[in-house]
Amino acid sequence: MKRLSLLFVLLASPAFAASGPFFSLRNTDFVVTLAFLLFIAILVYYRVPQLVGGLLDKRAESIRNDLAEARRLREEAQEIYANYERRQREVKSQAADIVANAKREATIEAEKAKNALKVSIERRLKAAEDQIAGAEADAVRAVRDRAIQTAIAAATEILGKQATAAERSSGIDKAIDDVARRLN
């Protein structure tokens, strides 16, 4: 196959278009063709095509390795991204749980505060009612005492003018009994 391609190269060369004998060292086309063929022979002798092919194969293998590494890194990045998204969802879920718990606790605490306030208000109202009742009782007692004193003074004065000593004595006893009955 190589010989056939070499024959085609020689036949298709522009050297046949030149004038004069082709196989002469004076023909520059022939000399260039010989130099070219010699150059190709040297390249083949020193296995340059195999070296270039080997270098190209190494380069292709290096590119394949780089692509495999890139795929591996891409898969690793996707795993990291998936882990990040999963963690983000977990954190969002935990945050939602924390917020729900905080709302629930706030509602419970607000209810406790309302109940405590209600109890405190009831206790203060009861204390105020007790104070009012005590003050009212004190006022009633004071008015009674004052009325009794005034009645006794008036009775003493009236009895002193109208009644005798015996009548006064029985009236006082009657008044004391009346007062004792009213106070109890």
pLDDT tens column, 88-115: 999 999 999 999 999 999 999 999 999 9
Q: Are 81 and 87 in contact (CB under 8 A)?
A: no
* Whole-prediction pTM: 0.39
pLDDT one-digit tens code per residue, 51-97? 999 999 999 999 999 999 999 999 999 999 999 999 999 999 999 99
C-alpha 20/C-alpha 11 separation (Å) is 16
Cβ-proximal residues to 43 (8 Å cutoff; 6+ apart), any chain: 49
**Residue 137 or 165, more confident:** 137
pLDDT at residue 170 in the model: 79
Q: Give the dihedral sign, CA 11/12/17/23.
A: negative
C-alpha 3/C-alpha 13 separation (Å) is 15
**Residue 15 or 165, more confident:** 165
pLDDT band at residue 155 under the 50/70/90 scheme: confident
pLDDT at residue 112 in the model: 92
Domain boundaries in the chain? 2-79
Cβ-proximal residues to 149 (8 Å cutoff; 6+ apart), any chain: none
| DSSP conformation letters of 88-106 | HHHHHHHHHHHHHHHHHHH
The tokens describing 181, both together, are 């009955």
C-alpha 167/C-alpha 156 separation (Å) is 11
